[in-house]
Chain A
Amino acid sequence: DAGITQSPRHKVTETGTPVTLRCHQTENHRYMYWYRQDPGHGLRLIHYSYGVKDTDKGEVSDGYSVSRSKTEDFLLTLESATSSQTSVYFCAIWSSGVADTQYFGPGTRLTVL
Protein backbone atom coordinates (compact mmCIF):
# COMPACT_ATOMS: atom_id res chain seq x y z
CA ASP A 1 0.00 0.00 0.00
CA ALA A 2 3.10 2.23 -0.20
CA GLY A 3 2.51 3.47 3.35
CA ILE A 4 -0.26 5.93 2.51
CA THR A 5 -2.90 6.91 5.04
CA GLN A 6 -5.73 9.39 4.73
CA SER A 7 -7.68 11.16 7.45
CA PRO A 8 -10.46 11.39 8.16
CA ARG A 9 -11.87 8.36 6.33
CA HIS A 10 -15.41 9.68 6.48
CA LYS A 11 -16.72 13.20 7.03
CA VAL A 12 -20.10 14.87 6.88
CA THR A 13 -20.13 18.66 6.86
CA GLU A 14 -22.41 21.59 6.13
CA THR A 15 -22.33 23.81 3.06
CA GLY A 16 -20.05 26.79 3.55
CA THR A 17 -17.77 25.25 6.16
CA PRO A 18 -14.03 24.76 5.60
CA VAL A 19 -12.74 21.20 5.37
CA THR A 20 -9.19 19.86 5.37
CA LEU A 21 -8.25 16.36 4.31
CA ARG A 22 -4.86 14.94 5.16
CA CYS A 23 -2.66 12.52 3.25
CA HIS A 24 0.35 11.04 5.00
CA GLN A 25 3.06 8.86 3.46
CA THR A 26 5.95 7.12 5.13
CA GLU A 27 8.28 6.36 2.20
CA ASN A 28 9.64 9.80 1.32
CA HIS A 29 8.12 9.99 -2.16
CA ARG A 30 8.57 13.31 -3.94
CA TYR A 31 5.34 13.31 -5.95
CA MET A 32 1.88 13.32 -4.37
CA TYR A 33 -1.60 13.79 -5.83
CA TRP A 34 -5.20 14.44 -4.87
CA TYR A 35 -8.01 12.97 -6.99
CA ARG A 36 -11.75 12.95 -6.65
CA GLN A 37 -13.88 9.99 -7.75
CA ASP A 38 -17.42 10.47 -8.99
CA PRO A 39 -19.69 7.95 -10.76
CA GLY A 40 -19.30 8.14 -14.52
CA HIS A 41 -16.19 10.33 -14.30
CA GLY A 42 -13.55 7.95 -13.06
CA LEU A 43 -10.83 9.74 -11.11
CA ARG A 44 -9.99 13.36 -11.85
CA LEU A 45 -6.87 15.14 -10.71
CA ILE A 46 -7.43 18.07 -8.35
CA HIS A 47 -3.89 19.15 -7.43
CA TYR A 48 -0.48 17.59 -7.32
CA SER A 49 2.86 18.24 -5.66
CA TYR A 50 6.37 17.66 -6.96
CA GLY A 51 8.17 18.61 -3.77
CA VAL A 52 7.88 20.50 -0.51
CA LYS A 53 6.02 23.76 -1.20
CA ASP A 54 5.86 22.88 -4.93
CA THR A 55 2.30 22.33 -6.07
CA ASP A 56 0.24 22.80 -9.21
CA LYS A 57 -3.36 22.56 -10.38
CA GLY A 58 -5.01 19.59 -11.98
CA GLU A 59 -8.09 19.50 -14.18
CA VAL A 60 -10.70 20.15 -11.44
CA SER A 61 -8.94 22.54 -9.04
CA ASP A 62 -11.64 25.21 -8.62
CA GLY A 63 -12.74 25.46 -4.99
CA TYR A 64 -9.72 23.53 -3.69
CA SER A 65 -6.32 24.49 -2.34
CA VAL A 66 -3.39 22.37 -1.19
CA SER A 67 -0.32 22.69 0.95
CA ARG A 68 2.80 20.63 1.45
CA SER A 69 5.06 21.91 4.20
CA LYS A 70 6.90 18.61 4.65
CA THR A 71 7.55 15.62 2.43
CA GLU A 72 5.24 13.23 4.22
CA ASP A 73 2.07 15.34 4.37
CA PHE A 74 -0.12 16.70 1.59
CA LEU A 75 -3.22 18.62 2.70
CA LEU A 76 -6.32 19.31 0.62
CA THR A 77 -8.55 22.18 1.75
CA LEU A 78 -12.05 23.06 0.68
CA GLU A 79 -12.27 26.70 1.74
CA SER A 80 -16.08 26.77 1.66
CA ALA A 81 -17.57 23.37 0.96
CA THR A 82 -20.40 23.02 -1.56
CA SER A 83 -22.70 20.09 -2.29
CA SER A 84 -20.92 19.57 -5.63
CA GLN A 85 -17.82 18.64 -3.65
CA THR A 86 -19.52 15.59 -2.18
CA SER A 87 -17.24 12.86 -3.44
CA VAL A 88 -14.65 10.26 -2.56
CA TYR A 89 -11.17 11.74 -2.38
CA PHE A 90 -8.05 9.71 -3.03
CA CYS A 91 -4.47 10.60 -2.34
CA ALA A 92 -1.71 8.97 -4.35
CA ILE A 93 2.06 8.89 -4.59
CA TRP A 94 4.27 8.22 -7.59
CA SER A 95 7.00 5.70 -7.06
CA SER A 96 9.18 7.00 -9.86
CA GLY A 97 11.95 4.41 -9.60
CA VAL A 98 11.86 0.86 -10.91
CA ALA A 99 8.15 0.49 -10.13
CA ASP A 100 7.27 3.69 -12.04
CA THR A 101 3.69 3.46 -10.74
CA GLN A 102 1.17 5.49 -8.78
CA TYR A 103 -0.11 3.97 -5.54
CA PHE A 104 -3.31 5.07 -3.87
CA GLY A 105 -4.50 5.63 -0.34
CA PRO A 106 -7.73 4.15 1.06
CA GLY A 107 -9.85 7.23 0.30
CA THR A 108 -11.95 9.74 2.23
CA ARG A 109 -15.70 9.84 1.72
CA LEU A 110 -16.90 13.44 2.08
CA THR A 111 -20.56 14.42 2.21
CA VAL A 112 -21.52 18.09 2.07
CA LEU A 113 -25.10 18.72 3.19
Chain B
Amino acid sequence: AQSVTQLDSQVPVFEEAPVELRCNYSSSVSVYLFWYVQYPNQGLQLLLKYLSGSTLVKGINGFEAEFNKSQTSFHLRKPSVHISDTAEYFCAVRRTNAGGTSYGKLTFGQGTILTVHP
Protein backbone atom coordinates (compact mmCIF):
# COMPACT_ATOMS: atom_id res chain seq x y z
CA ALA B 1 0.00 0.00 0.00
CA GLN B 2 1.03 3.58 -0.55
CA SER B 3 0.46 6.70 1.53
CA VAL B 4 1.02 10.38 0.85
CA THR B 5 1.59 13.17 3.35
CA GLN B 6 1.34 16.81 2.42
CA LEU B 7 3.15 18.53 5.20
CA ASP B 8 1.28 21.84 5.13
CA SER B 9 -2.49 22.12 5.07
CA GLN B 10 -2.37 25.84 4.28
CA VAL B 11 0.34 28.03 2.78
CA PRO B 12 -0.18 31.79 2.66
CA VAL B 13 2.22 33.77 0.49
CA PHE B 14 2.48 37.21 -1.07
CA GLU B 15 2.28 37.77 -4.79
CA GLU B 16 5.61 37.40 -6.65
CA ALA B 17 7.17 35.46 -3.75
CA PRO B 18 8.51 31.92 -4.24
CA VAL B 19 6.58 28.98 -2.87
CA GLU B 20 7.23 25.33 -2.06
CA LEU B 21 4.49 22.83 -1.31
CA ARG B 22 5.84 19.72 0.33
CA CYS B 23 4.88 16.14 -0.41
CA ASN B 24 6.30 12.95 1.09
CA TYR B 25 5.21 9.44 0.25
CA SER B 26 5.58 5.96 1.62
CA SER B 27 5.52 2.86 -0.54
CA SER B 28 6.99 -0.63 -0.58
CA VAL B 29 7.02 -0.60 -4.39
CA SER B 30 8.18 1.88 -6.98
CA VAL B 31 5.71 4.64 -7.77
CA TYR B 32 4.80 7.32 -10.22
CA LEU B 33 4.08 10.79 -8.80
CA PHE B 34 1.58 13.48 -9.69
CA TRP B 35 0.54 16.98 -8.68
CA TYR B 36 -3.00 18.17 -9.36
CA VAL B 37 -4.52 21.63 -8.84
CA GLN B 38 -8.12 22.39 -7.96
CA TYR B 39 -9.38 25.93 -8.46
CA PRO B 40 -12.46 26.95 -6.43
CA ASN B 41 -15.59 25.01 -7.39
CA GLN B 42 -13.83 23.12 -10.15
CA GLY B 43 -12.50 19.63 -10.79
CA LEU B 44 -8.87 18.54 -10.60
CA GLN B 45 -6.40 19.49 -13.31
CA LEU B 46 -3.03 17.82 -13.81
CA LEU B 47 -0.10 20.16 -13.08
CA LEU B 48 2.78 17.77 -13.69
CA LYS B 49 3.86 14.16 -13.32
CA TYR B 50 6.96 12.06 -12.84
CA LEU B 51 6.94 8.73 -14.63
CA SER B 52 10.62 8.28 -15.47
CA GLY B 53 13.68 10.14 -16.71
CA SER B 54 14.85 13.46 -15.30
CA THR B 55 13.93 13.89 -11.67
CA LEU B 56 13.18 17.60 -12.24
CA VAL B 57 9.78 17.85 -13.86
CA LYS B 58 8.29 21.00 -15.33
CA GLY B 59 4.56 21.49 -15.52
CA ILE B 60 1.98 24.04 -16.52
CA ASN B 61 1.73 27.59 -15.17
CA GLY B 62 5.44 27.77 -14.29
CA PHE B 63 5.39 25.03 -11.65
CA GLU B 64 8.10 22.40 -11.27
CA ALA B 65 8.75 19.50 -8.92
CA GLU B 66 11.73 17.36 -8.06
CA PHE B 67 11.53 13.65 -7.36
CA ASN B 68 13.91 12.66 -4.56
CA LYS B 69 13.87 8.90 -4.20
CA SER B 70 16.18 8.75 -1.17
CA GLN B 71 13.98 11.19 0.75
CA THR B 72 10.74 9.86 -0.77
CA SER B 73 9.67 13.39 -1.59
CA PHE B 74 8.14 15.22 -4.53
CA HIS B 75 7.98 18.88 -3.54
CA LEU B 76 6.26 21.40 -5.81
CA ARG B 77 7.86 24.81 -6.42
CA LYS B 78 7.20 28.04 -8.23
CA PRO B 79 9.72 30.92 -8.21
CA SER B 80 7.11 33.70 -8.36
CA VAL B 81 3.42 33.19 -7.65
CA HIS B 82 0.42 35.10 -8.94
CA ILE B 83 -2.98 35.80 -7.43
CA SER B 84 -4.39 33.31 -9.94
CA ASP B 85 -2.37 30.48 -8.35
CA THR B 86 -4.69 30.56 -5.34
CA ALA B 87 -6.09 27.02 -5.26
CA GLU B 88 -5.83 23.68 -3.52
CA TYR B 89 -2.97 21.43 -4.59
CA PHE B 90 -2.92 17.65 -4.31
CA CYS B 91 0.01 15.28 -4.46
CA ALA B 92 -0.75 11.71 -5.57
CA VAL B 93 1.10 8.46 -6.18
CA ARG B 94 0.44 5.34 -8.21
CA ARG B 95 2.42 2.15 -8.23
CA THR B 96 4.35 1.53 -11.40
CA ASN B 97 3.25 -1.23 -13.73
CA ALA B 98 6.25 -3.41 -12.93
CA GLY B 99 5.13 -6.62 -11.30
CA GLY B 100 1.47 -6.28 -12.17
CA THR B 101 -1.18 -3.74 -12.98
CA SER B 102 -2.07 -0.94 -10.63
CA TYR B 103 -5.43 -0.48 -12.37
CA GLY B 104 -4.35 3.14 -12.52
CA LYS B 105 -5.43 3.74 -8.92
CA LEU B 106 -4.15 6.91 -7.29
CA THR B 107 -3.52 7.56 -3.60
CA PHE B 108 -3.87 11.22 -2.70
CA GLY B 109 -2.47 13.43 0.01
CA GLN B 110 -4.71 15.59 2.15
CA GLY B 111 -4.25 18.70 0.03
CA THR B 112 -2.53 22.06 0.55
CA ILE B 113 -4.47 25.28 0.18
CA LEU B 114 -2.25 27.94 -1.37
CA THR B 115 -3.48 31.48 -0.82
CA VAL B 116 -1.68 34.25 -2.66
CA HIS B 117 -2.13 37.71 -1.16
CA PRO B 118 -1.60 40.98 -3.06
The digit string for B16-54, where 1 denotes a CB below 8 A from any CB of A, is 000000000000000010101000001111100101000
Known: A40-B9, A42-B108, A42-B109. A101 touches B103 (CB 8 A): no
In contact, B42 and A106 (Cβ under 8 angstroms): yes
At the interface, yes or no: A50 with Cβ under 8 Å from chain B? yes
In contact, B104 and A31 (Cβ under 8 angstroms): yes
B106: chain A residues at CB < 8 Å are 43, 45, 102
The digit string for B70-112, where 1 denotes a CB below 8 A from any CB of A, is 0000000000000000000010100000000001111111110
Which 8 residue pairs spanning A and B have beta carbons closest together? A94-B104, A42-B108, A104-B44, A104-B43, A43-B108, A42-B110, A106-B43, A31-B104
In contact, B105 and A33 (Cβ under 8 angstroms): yes
Bound CA–CA A60/B93 (angstroms): 18
Count A/B pairs, Cβ under 8 Å. Answer: 57
Bound CA–CA A101/B6 (angstroms): 20
* Chain B count of residues within 8 A CB distance of the other chain: 24
In contact, B90 and A42 (Cβ under 8 angstroms): yes
A41: chain B residues at CB < 8 Å are 110
In contact, A103 and B46 (Cβ under 8 angstroms): yes
The digit string for A75-113, where 1 denotes a CB below 8 A from any CB of B, is 000000000000000100010100011111111000000
Min CB distance B8 to A, Å, is 13
A45: chain B residues at CB < 8 Å are 105-107
Could you say which of B43, B46, B110 has the most chain A C-beta atoms within 10 Å of its C-beta? B43
In contact, A40 and B105 (Cβ under 8 angstroms): no
B103: chain A residues at CB < 8 Å are 31, 48, 50, 56, 94
B6: chain A residues at CB < 8 Å are 42
Bound CA–CA A102/B103 (angstroms): 11
Min CB distance A45 to B, Å, is 6
